[in-house]
Amino acid sequence: MNKILVCLLAALAGAGTVLPANAQEIVALAASPVVIAPPQTPLAQTIKSGLSAAYYGAAKGTTSYDEAQKLYFFYGSRHFEPIWLDQADNGSVVFSAPAQKIIKLFESAASEGLRPSDYLTPDLKLTATNADPAAMAALETAFSRAAMRYATHIYTGRIAPLSLSENLDIQPKKLDEAALLIQLASSADPVAVLAALEPTHPQFLALKAALATYDDSAKEGPAQVAAGKTLKPGMSDARIPALRVRLNLPAVADTIYDDAIVAAIKTFQTSLGLEADGVMGPATLTALNGGVPITRADIIANMERWRWMPRDLGQFNVFVNIPEYRLAINRNGVEEYTTRVVVGTVKNQTPVFSDNIRHIVVNPYWNVPSSIIKGEIAPAVMRNPAYTDNQNMDLLYNGNPVSPWQVDWSQVSATNFPFRVRQRPGPGNALGQIKFLFPNKHDVYLHDTPSKGLFSRTARALSHGCVRVQNPMEFANALLANEPNLSRASLEAMFGPSERWVNPQTQIPVHLAYFTVTVAPDGSLRSFGDIYGHNAHVIEALGLGTAMTAPAITAEAAPAVNELAP
């Protein structure tokens, strides 16, 4: 039996007993006071001294301060008795049985996409000098720090998302470290306790499995097709034999881009969400050649981002993967509906966060964001007061419409523009006929669009930040599958000149996510362009080297877009 652990268990058994006031140290917290029980052994006193020095000596707001505070409160509530160390019959110091099992977990941390050296730190070593109480205290607290660090990393990730970008608006999940430490120390299987903290999302588990079998040196890409001009039906090209090999088509004597190739290309394009036109343009050729190779760092970075996601996505949810330009509705982990989307440009990025769809608005006004007003509308209407009427817009002052012809524009500047702007419902409204609201500080949402042609493009980072849905009424119908009083037909019956609001009975979780690597049902890895650079930033923050994933599928040649739309 762990002799030192006996002290801890005895202390826990008496946790319900209130100590006399003069025997306690009270530490006030915002939520509730924490009672610090006095040490009862010389070793416990040494542990308290060390933790106290670390806690009160650290700068508030730092990682060191937070870690030291948690440890001080945890050990303080238990008379500062150790839980990870034991003393053998000969008096030597050894790790307890739970600690030894956790050390093996630290050693295999790479299988979780983590770094063993983050936990097996130099101060976590047993030596002959550990018999000294001060050394034992340092070793004990070092192990608790390592265990908390590992648990936090596996549960909510190593990187704070907002430290990389304000557009990664994800709050780290909270972990009760004190309760976890007790559970780990008293469990016969602490490995299972920690394993239960990792995400259970199927894509995370699939990426973890892919990491386990990943071999950088053994990656052989598909048969390559040389670069060249875009190939269309009926054209002749010297690359046709290589293309037939890549598509697993029988060899023929001629070099014609025939019907069999067109059909095979369409099937391939459909499987990747490309426009299935049967034409081998730059994007299709890049995809045929395997895109940019996926690295181990890419897999680990995407696993990290899965750890940022809510533990429960909701039994029925909407999931938008920004780099894939794709929306899906999932029920109990099974995809029920999918459609293409347009997302924000690099300059006006779609933020990454989770919320709940609470309202559906038919015939919406578009309340133009202030950034668009200042950057685009204000200069335009100051040059030409007819601009707002031409765009079917209202100029509002204190909530009331104002004629732009009655404004003395010489007294107004783009930076000091006193008006709000809204676009009236109608065929040209930037939001189309319907929008799906999940009120948030970013003022982004899902909506229809009159610019239907943009959905045929491969690269669709073209909006001001909102997510445009290709088939909004189909999406609405799938979204309302659980609503007894709402349907696509009931929404379409509301079409007209007046804005109409509908509130589903049940709020629907919606996740705007960012994954550049996914695992297909057959176990193969698919990569998508790192359009905002988030993947590269995660790789850099994790110390994994340079990101290798440039866009796996690039846009076909197309004119630039310069339009006024969310």
pLDDT in tens, 379-410: 999 999 999 999 999 999 998 999 999 999 98
Question: What integer is the mean pLDDT of 188-205?
Answer: 94
Q: Does the pLDDT of residue 563 top 70, yes or no?
A: no
Q: Which residue has the higher pLDDT, 132 or 220?
A: 132
Residue 549: predicted pLDDT = 39
Q: Which residue has the higher pLDDT, 300 or 126?
A: 300
How far is residue 185's CA from residue 203's CA, in Å, rounded to a whole number?
Answer: 31
Paired tokens of 28 = 């006030």
| Residue appearing with tokens 């029988």 | 250
Token pair of 464 as six digits: 């001001």
Integer-rounded Cα Rg, in Å, for the chain is 30
Task: Quickly list DSSP for 333-390.
Answer: TEEEEEEEEEEE-SSSPPPBEEEEE-EEEES--EE--HHHIIIIIHHHHHH-TTHHHH
Structure confidence at residue 217 (pLDDT) = 56
Q: Return the closest-CA partner of residue 25 out of 66, 55, 65.
A: 55
Residue span(s) of the chain under CATH 2.40.440.10 come to 291-365+430-566
Q: Please give the pLDDT value at position 522.
A: 82
Nearest of 212, 363, 343, 223 to residue 285 by alpha carbon: 223
Q: Which of 153, 442, 464, 466 is catalytic?
A: 466
pLDDT at position 129: 59
Average pLDDT of 111-125?
A: 92
* pLDDT the model gives residue 3: 41
Let me know if 534 is exposed, middle or buried by CB neighbors in 10 A (0-12, 13-18, 19+).
buried
Mean pLDDT of 298-318: 97
Q: What is the pLDDT of residue 188?
A: 85
pTM to 2 decimal places:
0.79
Buried b (16+ CB within 10 A) or exposed e, 118-140: ebeeeebeeeeebeebebbbbbb
Selection from 415-429, 435-449, 535-549 with the highest mean pLDDT: 435-449
pLDDT in tens, 245-282: 989 899 888 999 999 999 999 988 887 767 788 998 88
Residue 419: both structure tokens together? 């008006």
What pLDDT is attached to residue 94?
A: 80
Helix, strand, coil shares of the chain, percent, nearest 5, are 40, 15, 45
Between 316 and 93, residue with greater pLDDT = 316
CA distance 375 to 368: 11
pLDDT for 23 beyond 70: no
Report how far residue 498's alpha carbon sits from residue 428's, in angstroms, rounded to the nearest whole number.
14
Confidence check: pLDDT of 319 > 70: yes
Amino acid identity of residue 511, one-letter, is H
**Can you tell me the mean pLDDT for 312-330?**
97
d(CA 351, CA 418): 27
For residues 419-429, average pLDDT: 92
Which of 137-146, 216-225, 413-422 is predicted with the least confidence, judged by mean pLDDT?
A: 216-225
Q: Return the structure tokens found at 387.
A: 């601009």
Percentage of the chain modeled with pLDDT above 70: 86
Contact (Cβ atoms closer than 8 angstroms) between residue 102 and residue 190:
yes
- Report how far residue 43's alpha carbon sits from residue 8's, in angstroms, rounded to the nearest whole number: 13
Alpha-carbon distances of 42 from 48, 198, 512, rounded to whole Å: 10, 38, 54
For β-strands 366-367 and 400-402, DSSP reports them as: unpaired
pLDDT in tens, 464-514: 999 999 999 999 999 999 999 999 999 999 999 999 999 999 999 999 999
How much of the chain exceeds pLDDT 90, in percent?
56
306 close to 173: Cβ distance less than 8 angstroms = no
- Region 31-51: mean pLDDT is 78
Look up 447 and say whether it is catalytic: yes
E-strand spans in 171-325?
Answer: 316-321
Give the pair of three-digit tokens for residue 412: 């107004």
Q: Which residues contact 75 (CB under 8 A, 6 or more apart)?
A: 47, 48, 51, 81, 141, 144
Query: Residue 262 half-sphere exposure, CB side, CA atoms within 13 Å?
Result: 10
Residue 79: active-site member: no
Tokens (6 digits) for 448: 């229809």
SS3 of residue 252 by DSSP: coil
- Provide the token pair at 318: 């909407």
Most distant CA pair in the chain, distance: 97
- Cα–Cα distance between 455 and 341 in angstroms, integer? 7
CATH tag, 291-365+430-566: 2.40.440.10
- CB of 302 within 8 A of CB of 207? yes
- Residue in 342, 289, 213, 303 with CA at minimum distance from that of residue 539: 303
Instruction: Identify the band that residue 128 occupies on the pLDDT scale cut at 50, 70 and 90.
Output: low
Whether the per-residue pLDDT at 20 is higher than 80: the answer is no
Q: How far is the CA of 531 from the CAs of 334, 443, 540, 546, in angstroms?
A: 27, 21, 16, 16
Q: Is the pLDDT of residue 38 over 80?
A: yes
pLDDT value for 565: 64
- Which among 301, 307, 267, 304 has a CA at the least distance from the CA of 284? 267
The whole-chain average pLDDT of the chain stands at 85
Could you say which of 79, 153, 442, 447 is catalytic?
447
Cα atoms found within 13 Å of the Cα of residue 548, Cβ hemisphere only: 15
- Contact (Cβ atoms closer than 8 angstroms) between residue 257 and residue 231: yes
CB distance 102 to 147 below 8 Å: yes
* Cβ neighbours of residue 294 closer than 8 Å, sequence gap 6 or more: 517, 525, 527, 548, 549
pLDDT band at 219 (very low <50, low <70, confident <90, very high): low
Buried b (16+ CB within 10 A) or exposed e, 78-101: bbbbbbbbbbeeeeebebbebbeb
